[in-house]
């Protein structure tokens, strides 16, 4: 029954049985096995400290330290860090540990959200002048679209519902599709130049694409950053006004999230640092930053705004 509670979670989840002398793996879900590339037989029942260490930031000591920090008083712990697994470059993730209530044993549930593709985009935004970023899933849909210069005049919902093939001009479609397959096979980062088709409008696009994978080798998604976007047939100086038109008004959560992301980029403020300085949880900061929390509580908004040197009004508008 306990395993059934988390087996279908899209996040990697591991349950650790903790006592004074050891911390052993009690159970893990399919998402965790896909992330790390191990089977149940290779993990369940083993002490975290007995598992092999890979790379500069092995995962098992990180989980062990999180679980060690859980007490009867402090029943939750968070971390945002790089971690290493076999067969993969270092990953970047958010880890959340919580003591499981109503259990006869001392069990800690650790949830890991692999944010490697988001971290790569964030790092690129520090180094390059980016117009827009997005993720392309293995199902061929565009998600997590982020604008860095202001909204393109298209409906975000309609964009997210359109198959990615339809965004590439027909004359470039086969070439782009083959190039994406090549990147998936080689696991390398590639440069793309093609004609983007946005409904009735066409643009010359220059983009960088990086594939990301699970620990078992299965493909997860492409991360894409757009560096240049010029209307087809327009003068060289005329660049597309990359703005996303959200039909719900200026106080839509995505608009506030966009402002917050820009401010964090300008201040070079990571989610972890903002969480540490405000004493707000990583999960809450991430949800506000991604627009999942429409408008945080007034005190939360004030704490965040203070660290960014602005007023809450500048990000979320007036509070009644």
Residue 102 has a pLDDT of: 67
pLDDT in tens, the chain (320 residues): 444 556 677 889 999 998 777 899 999 998 888 888 888 888 999 999 998 888 888 999 999 999 988 887 888 888 888 998 876 678 899 999 998 876 666 899 999 998 999 999 988 888 788 888 999 998 888 888 888 776 656 666 777 777 888 889 889 999 999 999 999 999 999 999 999 887 778 889 999 999 998 877 789 999 999 998 888 875 544 444 444 333 333 334 447 887 888 788 777 788 888 888 898 888 888 888 878 888 899 999 999 999 999 988 888 888 87
One-letter-per-residue 3-state SS of the chain: CHHHHHCCCCCEEEEEEECCCCEEEEEECHHHHHHHCCCHHHHCCCEHHHCCCCCCCEHHHHHHHHHHCCCCCCCEEEEEEEEECCCCCCEEEEEEEEECCCCCCCEEEEEEEECHHHHHHHHHHHHCCCCEEEEEECCCCEEEEEECCCCEEEEHHHHHHCCHHHHECHHHHHHHHHHHHHHHHHCCCEEEEEEEEECCEEEEEEEEEEEEECCCCCEEEEEEEEEEEEECCCCCCCECCCCEECCCCCCCHHHHHHHHHHHHHHCCCCHHHHHHHHCCCHHHHHHHHCCCCCCCCHHHHHHHHHHHCCCHHHHHCCCC
* Residue 234 confidence (pLDDT): 56
Contacts of 229 (CB under 8 A, 6+ apart): 131, 132, 196, 203, 204, 205, 206, 239, 240, 242
Q: CA–CA separation, 263 vs 10, rounded Å? A: 30
CATH fold label, 253-316: 434 Repressor (Amino-terminal Domain) (1.10.260)
2-114 and 118-245 in the same fold: yes
Domain spanning 118-245: which CATH class is it, in words?
Answer: alpha beta
Q: Give dist(CA 258, CA 281) in Å, integer.
A: 20
108 phi/psi in degrees, rounded to 5: -120, 130
Burial of 279 (0-12, 13-18, 19+ CB in 10 A): exposed
The ranges assigned to domains in the chain are 2-114, 118-245, 253-316
pTM equals: 0.69
| pLDDT value at residue 247 | 35
- d(C-alpha 217, C-alpha 146), whole Å: 27
Residues 6 or more apart whose Cβ sits within 8 Å of residue 73: none
Assign domain 2-114 to a CATH class: alpha beta
| pLDDT in the model for residue 238 | 44
Whole-number pLDDT of residue 13 = 92
- Residue owning tokens 């005190």: 299
């Amino acid at each position: 029954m306990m395993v059934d509670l988390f087996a279908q979670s899209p996040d990697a989840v591991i349950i650790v049985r903790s006592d004074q002398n050891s911390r052993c793996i009690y159970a893990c879900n399919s998402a965790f096995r896909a992330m790390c590339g191990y089977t149940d037989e290779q993990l369940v029942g083993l002490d975290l400290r007995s598992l092999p260490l890979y790379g500069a930031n092995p995962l098992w000591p990180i989980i062990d330290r999180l679980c060690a920090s859980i007490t009867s008083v402090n029943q939750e712990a968070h971390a945002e860090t790089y971690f290493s697994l076999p067969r993969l470059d270092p990953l970047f993730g958010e880890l959340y540990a919580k003591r499981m209530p109503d259990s006869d044993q001392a069990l800690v549930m650790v949830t890991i959200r692999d944010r490697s593709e988001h971290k790569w985009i964030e790092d690129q935004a520090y180094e390059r002048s980016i117009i827009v970023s997005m993720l392309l899933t293995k199902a061929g849909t565009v998600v997590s679209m982020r604008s860095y210069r202001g909204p393109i005049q298209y409906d975000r919902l309609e964009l997210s519902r359109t198959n990615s093939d339809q965004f590439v001009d027909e004359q470039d479609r086969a070439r782009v599709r083959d190039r994406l397959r090549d990147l998936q096979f080689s696991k390398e980062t590639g440069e793309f130049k093609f004609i983007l088709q946005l409904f009735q409008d066409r643009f010359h696009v220059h983009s960088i694409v990086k594939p990301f994978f699970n620990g078992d080798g299965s493909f997860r998604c492409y991360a894409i950053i757009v560096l240049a976007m010029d209307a087809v047939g327009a003068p060289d100086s005329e660049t597309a006004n990359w703005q996303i038109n959200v039909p719900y008004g200026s106080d839509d959560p995505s608009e506030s999230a966009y402002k917050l992301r820009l401010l964090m980029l300008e201040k070079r403020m990571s989610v972890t640092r903002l969480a540490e300085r405000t004493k707000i949880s990583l999960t809450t900061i991430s949800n506000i930053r991604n627009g999942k929390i429409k408008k945080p509580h007034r005190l939360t908004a004030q704490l965040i705004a203070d660290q960014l040197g602005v007023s809450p009004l500048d990000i979320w508008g007036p509070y009644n």
